[in-house]
């Protein structure tokens, strides 16, 4: 996977960014990198963190749009983890 150079210009999937961010955290926690390399990947991690945060905010806005009622007004509904219908089948 390519490193993130500019959050706005590079298209990267959320899952890929999150995976790379997890690897960066592991490397930094190990503490075996030189200072310069640690700073370099820390900077990459910050960019990835901002990218992930932006993608999550974007997804949240889309969900809000999809949750508008018939009159076009937003209805706040809590996301439910798992529900069952009357026959015991999981719905969500």
Tell me the pLDDT tens digit for each residue of 66-82: 677 777 777 766 655 55
User: Which of 81, 59, 60, 46 has its CA nearest to residue 13?
Assistant: 59
Stretch 32-50: mean pLDDT, rounded?
A: 97
Total number of domains constituting the chain: 1
Element (H, E) at 91: none
CA contacts within 13 A on the Cβ side of 22? 6
Placement of tokens 């974007």 in the chain: 58
Where is 39: in which H helix or E strand? Answer: helix 35-66
CATH of the domain at 88: 1.10.287.1040
pLDDT, residue 44, reads 97
Mean pLDDT of all residues in 5-14: 65
Give CA angle at 18 (13, 22), nearest 5°: 150
pLDDT digits (tens, 9 = 90+) for 13-35: 999 999 999 999 999 999 999 99
Per the structure, the complete domain to which residue 11 belongs is given by 1-92
């Amino acid at each position: 996977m390519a490193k993130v150079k500019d959050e706005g210009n590079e298209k990267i999937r959320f899952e890929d960014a999150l995976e790379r961010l997890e690897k960066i955290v592991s490397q930094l926690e190990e503490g075996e990198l030189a200072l310069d390399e640690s700073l370099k990947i820390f900077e990459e991690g910050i960019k990835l963190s901002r990218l992930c945060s932006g993608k999550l905010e974007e997804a949240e806005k889309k969900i809000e749009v999809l949750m508008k009622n018939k009159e076009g007004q937003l209805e706040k509904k809590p996301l439910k983890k798992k529900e069952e219908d009357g026959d015991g089948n999981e719905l969500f």
